Amino acid sequence: MAQIGYGEANGKVILIGEHAVTFGQPAIAIPFTTGKVKVTIQSLNAGDTSYINSDVYEGTLQSAPEHIKSVISRFIDKYHIEEPINVKFETNLPPSRGLGSSAAMAIAFVRASYDYIGEPLSDELLIEEANWAEQIAHGKPSGIDTQTIVSNKPVWFHQGKVTTLKPLSINGYMVVIDTGVQGSTKQAVEDVHQLCNHNEQYMQYIEHIGTLVYDANEAIEHHDFTQLAHVFERAQENLRKLTVSHDNIEALLEISKLQGATAGKLTGGGRGGSMIVLAQNLDIAEKIATSAEKFGAHHTWIENLGG
């Protein structure tokens, strides 16, 4: 009988603080529960070859891209897995969209690994193992993605330190939109730093965003949808001035507001990528999602803010 291990993880969304966080300002990330990664590990017959099924690669472990091969091979070596295995990744989280795809993959795989060998897995060990796996893929992860996904609560990130906040409980919805435009976070961050180095005016926008992060935390504390919407609007104004918005983001914001959206902003690096839009009820959220996809957004998800 085949031995099976299963693990899953959701994504994450930067609620507020993108770009300003690279200047030492705080940021808040929240779990993205409708974005999921599911991993199944199944033993194969002796003589078979270990195999991987995923959107990005399908084939033998031996020929897999190095970052995938390294993580799975480490599991096989560390736990003396003698039988060949099939590892299947299923996800609706697009990569390189600022939605925590690589961290979710790592966490889901670690959970599946420990389920496969029948060993208990603490959150501390899960974070340690997942950060190692993400390091293979991304160099030096900040830890904000893994902490948000593992805790399944909002987190406060400030100057390298991650603190868990109280769970979201706001009466409303958030539509997450993949604009379909590939943004370059690295380039956007470099450009913003260059602007700030050459003109002090731009540092004011960074500081405004930093202040808004505290306002967003207050909105979470007091379950205040209206205050959060105000924060979104002001944050997007500042991000626009920092040149990290995009024509598609602005068009999708206009379209969303025509459908009744209360507020919206980009999330992550900007210049494309993903954005988040607030809606007071599910009916409005569904209209926003439908209109965004008609406009050309690659994908939309609707998140309940917990209220």
User: What is the mean predicted confidence (pLDDT) over 140-169?
Assistant: 89
User: What is the structure's pLDDT at 128?
Assistant: 92
User: What is the structure's pLDDT at 307?
Assistant: 65
Mean predicted lDDT score pLDDT of the chain = 94
pTM to 2 decimal places: 0.90
pLDDT in tens, 229-259: 999 999 999 999 999 999 999 999 999 999 9
Domain ranges of the chain: 4-164, 173-304
User: What is the mean predicted confidence (pLDDT) over 158-179?
Assistant: 94
- Say yes or no to pLDDT of 91 above 80: yes
pLDDT in tens, 12-61: 999 999 999 999 999 999 999 999 999 999 999 999 999 999 988 999 99
User: What is the structure's pLDDT at 139?
Assistant: 66
- Say yes or no to pLDDT of 2 above 70: yes
* CATH 3.30.230.10 corresponds to the domain 4-164: yes
- Say yes or no to pLDDT of 172 above 80: yes
User: What is the structure's pLDDT at 160?
Assistant: 86
User: What is the structure's pLDDT at 218?
Assistant: 96
pLDDT in tens, 260-296: 999 999 999 889 899 999 999 999 999 999 999 999 9
- Say yes or no to pLDDT of 170 above 90: yes
User: What is the structure's pLDDT at 135?
Assistant: 82
Closest CA to 192 of 182, 181, 204, 180: 204
Task: Kindly state which CATH superfamily the domain 173-304 is placed in.
Answer: GHMP kinase, C-terminal domain (3.30.70.890)
Cα Rg, the chain, nearest whole Å: 20
